[in-house]
Each structure stands twice: as C-alpha cells, then as structure tokens.
Structure 1
Amino acid sequence: MNIRELDGAEALTRADELAEVLRDCVEGGASVGFMLPLPAGRCEAFWRSVAAAVAAGDRHLFVAEDEAGRICGTLSLVVDMPDNQPHRADVSKMLVHRRARRQGVAERLLRALEARARALGRTTLVLDTVTGSDASRLYEKTGWQRSGDIPNYALMPDGPPCSTTYYFLHL
C-alpha cells in the first residue's frame, strides 16, 4: 500500500479511478454528500472540481494505491479558509473502497494528512462523519476529540436521515 499526495494535474488524469472509489463508497451506503442512484458522470465531475481546487492550492489530495497502483482510498485537506482562520483546515472525503477496508488504509491516509497539515503550519483540524460509523471509531482511536452531534444532519444515500458527529484535532 502506497500513500501519497496528488497534484492537480494527476488528480485530473486519475478522476476515473477516484470516481470508482467514490461510487463504491456511496453504493456501499456511505453518507458522503451523494445520493443514489448516482447520475452518470456525477462522480467524475466531482473529482474534476477537486482537481481544480488542488491545482489552485485550496486543497491537498491524498490517495492510497494498492499493489497494482490503483487508487483504493482518498482523503482531502481543505486549506482554503477565511482570513481569521489561517491556522485551521478541514478534513474531507475519507473514502476507502470496500475491497481495501480493514487494512489500515484510512489510518495511514489520516496520518499523512496530519503530517502535511503540520508542515503547512495548521494547528486545528475539523471534520464530520456519520455518528457511530466505522470512521468515527477510527477518529476517536487516533486522538481526535468529539465536539458534538447534530441529529438529522444529512441523508444516507438511500434516503433516511442520519446524525453527524463533529471532531477536531489540535496538532
């Protein structure tokens, strides 16, 4: 397993692989901002917009590649913050393809992102995830602090509402 950061150009050229990971996660029930059924091209369009944000310096995109070099996980550090929050960044779109789960991919992505945030001088990271999810257990295990829950915050991909939990980490 290889964890690395993509630049905007490579993110754009690999948008189809990134889209496959996103599609698999949504079809597997992950509430990550998309609803089923996913329209054709929706996932690719999302990753093209992410690639543009990476190219602009607003986001850092980390991927996990399997032994064959295929992307099997992703995580973003959003650094485009308001003027009064230059010390903060948001963590976004922790996605691990179902074929690569339970292999430490998510934790390795998270550690790479945290190291990059430190190198950028960011001292406060914030994220949200579905309450009680595997991701929430990972964040708590790796030292993230639970801030609170918001009931009925979002919808699961098949429609029912779900609660979200906010977490933060001081680096």
Structure 2
Amino acid sequence: MTTIRIIDADEARAVLPDLCEILSDCINGGASVGFMLPFGPKDAEAYWREIAAAVEAGGIILAVAEVEGRVVGTVQVGLASKPNQPHRGDLMKLLVHRSARGLGLSRRLMDAVEREAARRGRTLLVLDTATGSDAEKIYPRFGWERVGVIPDYAMWPEGGFCGTTLFYKRVG
C-alpha cells in the first residue's frame, strides 16, 4: 500500500532514519540538492533535524510517500516569510529513493504539497533544479512553467559546475 501524507515535526523525527536514507541515496546517485560528496549519515541526520525544527516553527510543509510502511520519498515547501511575499512558497528537495522510482510517487508528492500550500494561502510556488538532471524533465509534466537557466549556479555532488533551471506554478 502506498500513502502520501503531510507530516508534522514529531512524525519527521520518527521517520528520521528513512529520510536520511532517501537523502543519502539521492546524493550518492548524483542528485544536486545542495550537498557535496563525501556525504555521510551524520550529514543527513543534521539536515533532517534542521528541517524538523523548521516544520515545528511553521516555516516548512513536509510531505512523505510511504510504500509498505517505509518512507521512500519526500518533498518540502518553504513558506516565504517576507512581508511582501505571503502568497509565495519555495518547492524544495523532491527526493524519491532510487528503489522506488517509476511508481508515480513524485507526482503524488507534488500534488499533496501543492494542495497543502494552497490551503495555507499560497498562490505561487517556485523551484530551481539542476539543468540537465532527470528532475528537470518531470516538472513541465506536472504543470510547472519553465522560466530560464542560470549557468554555473551550483555544483554536482562530485564536483563540477551545473546550471539551474527555474520554474513556477500557480496553485490554489
């Protein structure tokens, strides 16, 4: 059975080992999501503890995909806190463990956080993703509009520059 759900900070802490495994798997598989190799378990745990604190503070929406009771995918929306941007959110870290790809989890995760962001008053979501990555190809299929590319924006986990492609989507 597959379940997609929005989780709170306590639930995030309860599934911390699964979240750490997903992040490590994606980074070790070449995903450019803000980290460099080598990337170890302590790095993953520190990251997810920060995210759980941000969820607790109300700054992040966190969704997970569970298959057979195990979390195998996740995505976040950072809720913009600037006074002139109460309508905006930043989609971040759409991650699906390589063993669970091809099950339609990315679309279901995106649908869930988009609905929750709209429920919380967000009407515009934005994201950036590594140019040339597999992730770049899926967002247009989910209704996201491509804005453009910034060259040499970040680095791949193993080194070397990569551009980032910007997208937006109106929700709610």
TM-score, normalised with respect to structure 2: 0.96
Partner of 1:41: 42
User: 5+ residue gaps in structure 2?
Assistant: none
Which aligned pairs between 1:90-169 and structure 2 lie closer than 5 A? 90-169=90-169
After the TM superposition, list the runs of 4 or more consecutive aligned residues in structure 1 that deviate by more than 4 angstroms: none
Partner of 1:30: 31
Instruction: Give the C-alpha shift of residue 40 in structure 1.
Output: 4.2
8 Å CA contact 2:89–2:125 kept in 1: the answer is: yes
- How many residues align? The count is 170
Partner of 2:65: 64
Instruction: Give the C-alpha shift of residue 86 in structure 1.
Output: 0.3
Q: For residues 40 and 142 of structure 1, do their structure 2 counterparts lie closer, same or farther at Cα, with a shift above 3 Å needed? A: closer
Instruction: Give the C-alpha shift of residue 81 in structure 1.
Output: 2.2
8 Å CA contact 1:59–1:80 kept in 2: the answer is: no
Provide Cα deviations, 1:51-93, integer angstroms capped at 9, x if missing partner: 00001111010000012x1110000011142110000000011
8 Å CA contact 1:124–1:170 kept in 2: the answer is: yes
Instruction: Give the C-alpha shift of residue 118 in structure 1.
Output: 1.3
TM-score, normalised with respect to structure 1: 0.96
8 Å CA contact 1:17–1:71 kept in 2: the answer is: yes
Partner of 2:76: 76
CA distance in 2, matches of 1:141, 1:40: 33
**2:56 is the counterpart of 1:55:** yes
Q: Give me the identity figure in percent.
A: 50
User: 5+ residue gaps in structure 1?
Assistant: none
Instruction: Give the C-alpha shift of residue 39 in structure 1.
Output: 3.7
8 Å CA contact 2:24–2:41 kept in 1: the answer is: no
